[in-house]
Chains A and B, each alone.
Chain A
Amino acid sequence: MKRHLSKLYLLLALVAAAIIARYQSSIGPYYFQIIMYIGINVILASSLNLINGFAGQFSLGHAGFMALGAYTSAVITTSLHVSPGTAASYPVFALALICGGIVASVFGLLVGIPSLRLKGDYLAITTLGLGEIIRVIIQSLNFLGAARGFTGIAKLSNFFWVYAVVAIVIFTIANLVRSTYGRGFLAVRDDEIAAEAVGVDATRYKIIAFTTGAFFAGIAGGLYAHFVTYINPSQFGFLRSFEIVVMVVVGGMGNIAGVILAAALLTILPEALRAVAQYRMVIYALLLIIIMISRPQGLFGQRIDWGRIWRRLSKRPSPPAEGKT
């Protein structure tokens, strides 16, 4: 019953995304850009949440997966000369995104393999290293524009594409986590040795987490490339990875709704703080330290308890003068 319901939600979300996409031109370009970035960051943070939050494998190479997806899909759409708006552009773009995702997930597999032997700090720095290696390789490839970047990518991403993927990612991860796989992830995260002892195949779960997470990061990269229409290797450095990590940590590792909320908040925050833009990263850094010291479970903890929030809100006696219920 619950599964059907979530499929229904997915369908509703897709329809809503399609309807809003028809009216996207009425949103101001500045706000539209922020909305698109929120969507892309939600995809990135949610997919990293699967690796970091649920499977407990601390990865610092997410920007690398994103770069792979971005470049792969950009090469496909530009070599096929897809122009936005044509009927052919939709299936080709979908295919390009999926190809980007697949390439990223193949590398996710490569990253997943060291994770079988490495833990914590070592894994973090290895994934950081792999992300950097990906970036350096792209930078040395001339047909990808090397350090000059890749220009002339068709602007194929629109509201529908981004938010359809957001819906699919949330749907996939929410279902994955509720399934036996999810239990496997949590078991590996909480105590790998104990999990192995009771017969949980830790290797398998780690690899599934890495490939799935990388796949969606690749798709997010594709969406990003086809939105900004110009990409270069420096956009996918480790600072990008750090930003995604901050979103996951602030939202609470393993908290799906919390991470989505954090991704949205942290995308809006620098825009709202335009006046103090140069303090942005300092604020991020302090946020990270303070949250780790005072609330390591993230701002929203393990899960957002909507019921409790609702009870608390409804219990509070409303001032009669305003007449609210």
Chain B
Amino acid sequence: MSELLQQIINGVSMGSIYALIALGYTMVYGILRFINFAHGDVFMVGAFVGFFVAPVVATLVGGSGLATAVLVMVISMAACALLGVTIEKLAYRPLRSRPKLTVLITAIGVSLFLEYGGQLVFGPDPKPFPALIPSIMIVNSRYLVLSSNSVVVIGTALVLMIVLRYIVFHTRMGTAMRAVSFDHRAASLMGINIDSVISFTFALGSGLAAAAAILYGSVYPSINPLMGLFPGLKAFIAAVLGGIGNLTGAVVGGLIIGLLETLVTGYISPVYRDAISFAVLILILLFRPSGILGRHEAEKV
């Protein structure tokens, strides 16, 4: 029983990281109707920005602590937001009116570019991610180990999700985002600048990916240029599972995938950790392609 509780805590903390990444996928999909394959690699860049910035910030602020952690996260989020906007501008914008397949292949190209560019710039070997907030054991008994890390991860993710919800549902830009996602042409006829809304969406999504990366680094303190691949794919699966284009769905999907993965690792075999998410994806796509919370869209001729 206590083992199950332990797995659930780990699963929720992993799941909230997936949820943050999944939000980026789902927002971009909601607006552009395409899967930003490079999103997982933006996440990787976020981790590396954190890795390089943390020592500098620590010396400026003086030691590691909450202020350092928050500052590192904000810098990393800003850097990734910039990266996301740049990728959109250079690679995706010229292709906006082209067939979806073209954009998809380009996105794969961007993803490979970031991965292998990362290997050149950062080196292919794994690097230790610095502990930004010293981890304290809140509960450390024979039955249950609860470190402050998982509390921080879940708490931070929760705060970011609430902020995102506020932006999307209670600000002018959020309203514009929802309008664009509903109908590009109608939105632009209403005077909404589509380009800036899309840039903003990419900035928001990439920023969340960077935040997820910092949290991920604090749970798994080893980072490498290919680290974005699997979290990226799983977050994508989470987004599809929850119903792509739906913010709540991304969070629900992320939690389910995180839980499922830790349970499979704990009770069956760690070998199937990656396979289980893909199996879930295939099942959900076969039986309910619109996801748990997604609306079914009829195909228009």
Bound pair (A, B): yes
Is B275's CB within 8 Å of the partner chain A?
yes
List, in ascending order, chain A residues with CB within 8 A of B106's CB. Answer: 288-289, 292-293
At the interface, is chain A mostly helix, strand, loop or mixed? Answer: helix
Report the minimal beta-carbon distance from B119 to chain A, rounded to whole angstroms.
7
Give the CA-CA distance A223 to B214 in the complex, in Å.
45
List, in ascending order, chain A residues with CB within 8 A of B109's CB. Answer: 285-289, 292
CB under 8 Å from chain B, chain A span 213-260:
242, 245, 249
List, in ascending order, chain A residues with CB within 8 A of B282's CB. Answer: 114, 126, 129-130
Of all chain A residues, which has the CB nearest B34? A121
**Proximity string of chain B (207-245) to chain A, C-beta cutoff 8 Å, 1 when within and 0 when not:** 000000000000000000000000001001100100000
Are A245 and B272 in contact, with the CB atoms below 8 A?
A: no
Are B113 and A289 in contact, with the CB atoms below 8 A?
A: yes
Of all chain B residues, which has the CB nearest A140? B271
Is A27's CB within 8 Å of the partner chain B?
no
Are B116 and A281 in contact, with the CB atoms below 8 A?
A: yes
Are B105 and A282 in contact, with the CB atoms below 8 A?
A: no
List, in ascending order, chain B residues with CB within 8 A of A201's CB. Answer: none
Are A136 and B272 in contact, with the CB atoms below 8 A?
A: yes
Are B285 and A122 in contact, with the CB atoms below 8 A?
A: yes
CB under 8 Å from chain B, chain A span 130-179:
130, 132-133, 136-137, 139-140
List, in ascending order, chain A residues with CB within 8 A of B301's CB. Answer: 193
Are B104 and A124 in contact, with the CB atoms below 8 A?
A: yes
Are A121 and B95 in contact, with the CB atoms below 8 A?
A: no
List, in ascending order, chain B residues with CB within 8 A of A132's CB. Answer: 274-275, 278
Give the CA-CA distance A58 to B34 in the complex, in Å.
14
List, in ascending order, chain A residues with CB within 8 A of B299's CB. Answer: 193
Give the CA-CA distance A94 to B301 in the complex, in Å.
47
| Most A CB within 10 A of own CB, among B94, B119, B271 | B271
Report the minimal beta-carbon distance from A126 to chain B, rounded to whole angstroms.
6
| Most A CB within 10 A of own CB, among B91, B94, B101, B278 | B101
List, in ascending order, chain A residues with CB within 8 A of B115's CB. Answer: 281, 285
Is A284's CB within 8 Å of the partner chain B?
yes
- Size class of the A contact interface (CB-based, 8 Å): 35 or more
Are A278 and B119 in contact, with the CB atoms below 8 A?
A: yes
Are B110 and A121 in contact, with the CB atoms below 8 A?
A: no
Report the minimal beta-carbon distance from A209 to chain B, rounded to whole angstroms.
15
| Most A CB within 10 A of own CB, among B105, B111, B285 | B105
Is B165's CB within 8 Å of the partner chain A?
no
Report the minimal beta-carbon distance from B39 to chain A, rounded to whole angstroms.
12
Give the CA-CA distance A132 to B104 in the complex, in Å.
19
Is A117's CB within 8 Å of the partner chain B?
yes
At the interface, is chain B mostly helix, strand, loop or mixed? Answer: helix
Is B269's CB within 8 Å of the partner chain A?
yes
The total number of A-B Cβ pairs within 8 Å is 112
Are A278 and B120 in contact, with the CB atoms below 8 A?
A: yes
**Proximity string of chain B (257-301) to chain A, C-beta cutoff 8 Å, 1 when within and 0 when not:** 000000000000101101101110110011001000000000101
Of all chain A residues, which has the CB nearest B103? A292
**Proximity string of chain B (116-155) to chain A, C-beta cutoff 8 Å, 1 when within and 0 when not:** 1101100000000000000000000000000000000000
List, in ascending order, chain A residues with CB within 8 A of B289's CB. Answer: 117-118, 122
Are A284 and B112 in contact, with the CB atoms below 8 A?
A: yes
Is B193's CB within 8 Å of the partner chain A?
no
| Most A CB within 10 A of own CB, among B35, B102, B112 | B112
Give the CA-CA distance A128 to B277 in the complex, in Å.
12
| Most A CB within 10 A of own CB, among B106, B117, B279 | B106
Report the minimal beta-carbon distance from B244 to chain A, rounded to whole angstroms.
9
Give the CA-CA distance A74 to B275 in the complex, in Å.
24
Q: Which of A114, A121, A130 contacts B100 (CB 8 A)?
A: A121
Give the CA-CA distance A249 to B107 in the complex, in Å.
13
Give the CA-CA distance A56 to B285 in the complex, in Å.
19
Of all chain B residues, which has the CB nearest A290? B109
Report the minimal beta-carbon distance from A112 to chain B, rounded to whole angstroms.
13
Interface residues of A (CB under 8 A from B): 56, 58, 114, 117-118, 120-122, 124-126, 128-130, 132-133, 136-137, 139-140, 193, 242, 245, 249, 278-282, 284-289, 292-293, 296
26 A-B pairs with C-beta separation under 8 A = A58-B101, A114-B285, A114-B286, A118-B289, A120-B101, A121-B34, A121-B35, A129-B279, A132-B275, A132-B278, A133-B278, A136-B271, A136-B272, A193-B301, A242-B112, A278-B120, A279-B120, A281-B115, A282-B116, A285-B111, A286-B113, A287-B109, A293-B106, A296-B98, A296-B99, A296-B102
Interface residues of B (CB under 8 A from A): 34-35, 91, 94-95, 98-106, 108-113, 115-117, 119-120, 233, 236-237, 240, 269, 271-272, 274-275, 277-279, 281-282, 285-286, 289, 299, 301
